[in-house]
């Protein structure tokens, strides 16, 4: 018995020791299986660069490369301007968080929003931008947040580099993931920041970013240090069609009912058939 215990102790502790070098050994920047969720999704490409030579138009219609805009930490959002679902919430949350951060936009970091809809023009960009600039008030340096549009080739290069996989929909514009990409001054992706549901006790829930996440991301970006984003359930922008799930829920209901039935039957059996045990004579 004692030997048995000793053996078990030895075996189990060996797990701790084996685990350590094992855990140290696997260092991968992309921890997510590529293509795991098909054509739509987000594969983090932390540590890689976005194409700085890609050409876009700002909201005044001036042609610019990303290299000209990325010279300090950048908070990049990828949306489309005719979106009436999650994109305005995402941009609203981005605008809201700039007021909370201790970093100054235009000095410590800048904001770039790129539309992935080739049909967007500098005019739609201007219209979209006006909302957020009005919200932020006159103290916000307008030039520190660019709303860009571009051709499908350039858009695709940026989306691929950032790991965004989007899909054109019939019902409304695009299905796409919602997240911010934080870039270093050299254009390297240092972290992805995901929105959370706001703590506001009301419906519908607007999205929000945690100041903690963005502070850490910007300070890391300034040091060219890549961070490790906390994986949350991704927020997606997509038309929801719960009809397809009815069968699944029916299966759940039936299996639940079967389990409860058997458990009840077992209880009734136990209670109804008990015989009193007799003591030894």
Partner 1 sequence: MNSFYADLGPRRGFAAWMLSTDHKRLGIMYLSALLLFFSVGVSLGVLIRLNLISPGTFVQAHNYNRLFTIHGIIMIFLFIIPGIPVSFGNFFLPLLIGARDVAFPRINRLSWWLYLAGAVVVLASLFFGGGPLDTGWTFYAPYSVQTRTNVSMAVLGVFILGFSSILTGLNFITTIHRLRAPGMTWHRMPLFVWTLYATGWVQLLATPTIAISLLLIILERFFGIGFFDPAKGGDPILFEHMFWIYSHPAVYIMVLPAMGIISEVVPVFSRKVIFGYSAVAYSAIAIAAVGYLVWGHHMFTSGMSDTARVVFSFFTFLVAVPSGMKVFNWLGTLYKGSIRLDAPMLHALSFIFLFSIGGLTGLIQSAVATNLNLHSTYWIVAHFHYVMFGGMGFSFLAGLHYWFPKMFGRMYRERPAKIGWLVFFIGFNVLYFSMFILGYNGMPRRYFDYPPQYFTGQLVATIGSWILAAGLIIIFRNLIVAFYKGPKAPDNPWGGSTLEWQVSSPPPHENFGKMPVITRGPYSFE
Which residues here bind partner 1, judged by CB under 8 A?
A: 1-5, 8-9, 11-13, 15-16, 18-20, 22-28, 31-33, 36-41, 175, 196-197, 199, 201, 203, 205, 210, 212-213, 215-216, 219, 227-228, 230-231, 233-234, 236, 238, 241, 244-245, 248, 255, 259-260, 263, 266, 270-271, 274, 276-280
Distance (Å, rounded) from C-alpha 40 to C-alpha 8?
47
Provide the minimum distance between the beta carbon of 130 and partner 1 in the complex, in angstroms, as a whole number. 30
Provide the minimum distance between the beta carbon of 76 and partner 1 in the complex, in angstroms, as a whole number. 21
State the SS3 of 55-123: EEECCCCCEEEHHHHCCCCEEEEEECCCCCCHHHHHHHHHHHHHCCCCCCECCCEEEEEEECCCCCCHH
Using CB atoms within 10 Å of the CB of residue 85, give its burial: 0 to 12 exposed, 13 to 18 middle, 19+ buried: middle
Which is nearer to partner 1, 33 or 139 (by Cβ)?
33
- Residue 213's contacts (CB-CB under 8 Å, 6 or more residues apart) are 193, 194, 230
Provide the minimum distance between the beta carbon of 113 and partner 1 in the complex, in angstroms, as a whole number. 23
Which is nearer to partner 1, 37 or 60 (by Cβ)?
37
Which is nearer to partner 1, 137 or 243 (by Cβ)?
243
Which is nearer to partner 1, 63 or 259 (by Cβ)?
259
């Amino acid at each position: 018995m004692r030997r048995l215990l000793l053996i078990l102790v030895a075996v189990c502790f060996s797990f701790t020791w084996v685990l350590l070098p094992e855990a140290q050994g696997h260092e991968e920047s992309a921890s997510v299986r590529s293509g795991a969720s098909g054509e739509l999704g987000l594969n983090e490409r932390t540590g890689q660069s976005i194409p700085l030579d890609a050409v876009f138009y700002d909201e005044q219609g001036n042609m610019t490369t990303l290299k000209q805009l990325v010279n300090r930490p950048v908070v990049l959002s990828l949306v489309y301007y005719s979106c009436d679902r999650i994109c305005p919430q995402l941009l609203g949350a981005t605008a809201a968080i700039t007021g909370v951060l201790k970093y100054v936009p235009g000095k410590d970091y800048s904001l770039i929003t790129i539309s992935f809809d080739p049909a967007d023009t500098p005019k739609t960009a201007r219209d979209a931008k006006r909302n957020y600039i009005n919200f932020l008030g006159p103290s916000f340096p307008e030039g520190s947040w660019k709303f860009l549009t571009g051709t499908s080739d350039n858009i695709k290069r940026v989306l691929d580099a950032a790991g965004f996989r989007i899909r054109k929909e019939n019902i409304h514009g695009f299905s796409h993931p919602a997240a911010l990409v934080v870039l270093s001054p050299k254009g390297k992706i240092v972290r992805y920041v995901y929105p959370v549901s706001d703590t506001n006790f009301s419906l519908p829930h607007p999205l929000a970013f945690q100041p903690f996440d963005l502070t850490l991301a910007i300070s890391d970006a300034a040091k060219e240090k890549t961070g490790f984003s906390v994986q949350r359930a991704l927020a997606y922008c997509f038309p929801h069609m719960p009809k397809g799930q009815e069968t699944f829920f029916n299966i759940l209901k039936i299996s639940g009912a079967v389990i409860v039935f058997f458990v009840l039957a077992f209880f009734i059996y136990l209670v109804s058939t008990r015989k009193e045990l007799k003591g030894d004579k």
